[in-house]
Amino acid sequence: MNCENALELMNRELDGALTEAESAALRAHLDACPDCRETWRQLHELDALLRESELEPPAALHEGVMREIRQEQKRKPHRAWVPAAAIAAAAALVLLAGRAGLIALPGFEQTDVISVNIGSAVEQIFAQTGAKTPDEAAAQQAAELAAETGLDVLLVWNSGVPLELETAAYETAQSGARLYCVTGQMAQTILDEYGAAAYSPDDVFSDLPEKEAAYVLVLP
């Protein structure tokens, strides 16, 4: 082994990446070569000193970031992330009403129709978040859709068609709202970027990116 080979092995030895045979060969060379022995000592010392030079982050880092995040959340009242439990309650109300025969929901085969004001329940939720409520009929439509399909439904209003959906296929509801079926990941992106309310058939909102599909209802 020459000194150049030994130098390469020294580097890998510092990284714990030598085989036993390579390690033994390096030892043999170091025993015979005082120059390489000195190089090895120096490289070893440098690695140790570098590791010891690690710094503790200042408290200002964590404090500054969290302050900014909390201020950012306050600055976004238009974005209605409706609490999951409250949404579950709203969706349950739709289901309850459907089973009791009070309103017609697709799939429940009810005929004697009266209206139930799901919108007022949703309004209360929005009042808690400080966000401006969407159209009541649209809120009801979104809640019904979530209950019927078992999918999360995002309601987007006052934002136009999100850029991410401009070329996507959609159905048009009677109200003129556009209905898109998207991946959970896309739904999460839209929720993050646009003023949106989310309606869920269950209370597991944080898993939205993991859902295979979700609906986005865009008001005209």
Chain contacts with other proteins (rule: CB under 8 A): 3-4, 6-8, 11-12, 14-15, 17, 33, 35-36, 38-39, 42-43, 45-47, 49-58, 60-62, 64-66, 68-70, 73, 81, 185, 188-189, 192, 205-210
Backbone angles phi and psi of 86, in degrees to 5: -65, -35
Nearer to other proteins, 51 or 75 (CB): 51
DSSP H stretches of helix in 100-157 = 118-129, 136-149
Shortest CB 174 distance to other proteins, Å: 32
Beta bridge partners of 154: 198, 216
Nearer to other proteins, 141 or 200 (CB): 200
Joined together, the tokens standing for residue 35 give 């120059």
Which lies closer to other proteins via its Cβ, residue 85 or residue 113?
85
Closest contact distance (angstroms) between CB of 172 and other proteins is 28
| Least distance between other proteins and beta carbon 78 (Å) | 14
3-state SS string for 69-137:
HHHHHHCCCCCECCCHHHHHHHHHHHHHHHHCCCCCCCCCCCCCCCCCCHHHHHHHHHHHHCCCCCCHH
Is 196 in contact with 190 (CB distance < 8 Å)?
yes
CB-nearer residue toward other proteins: 69 or 100: 69
Q: Which residue number, 138 or 208, has a Cβ lying nearer to other proteins?
A: 208
* Residue 14 or 102 having the CB closest to other proteins: 14
CB nearer other proteins, residue 140 or residue 188: 188
The sign of the CA dihedral 119, 122, 128, 131 is negative
The end-to-end CA distance of the chain, in Å, is 76
Rounded to a whole number of angstroms, the CA Rg of the chain reads 31
Min dist. Cβ of residue 99 to other proteins (A):
30
- Shortest separation between residue 4's beta carbon and other proteins, angstroms: 8
Task: Please name the helix (run of DSSP H) or strand (run of DSSP E) that holds residue 199, with its range, or none.
Answer: strand 196-199
Least gap, CB of 103 to other proteins (angstroms): 31
Count of CB atoms within 10 A of residue 133's CB?
Answer: 19
**Least Å distance between CB 8 and other proteins?**
7
Q: How far is CA 107 from CA 123, 150, 174, in A?
A: 26, 12, 19
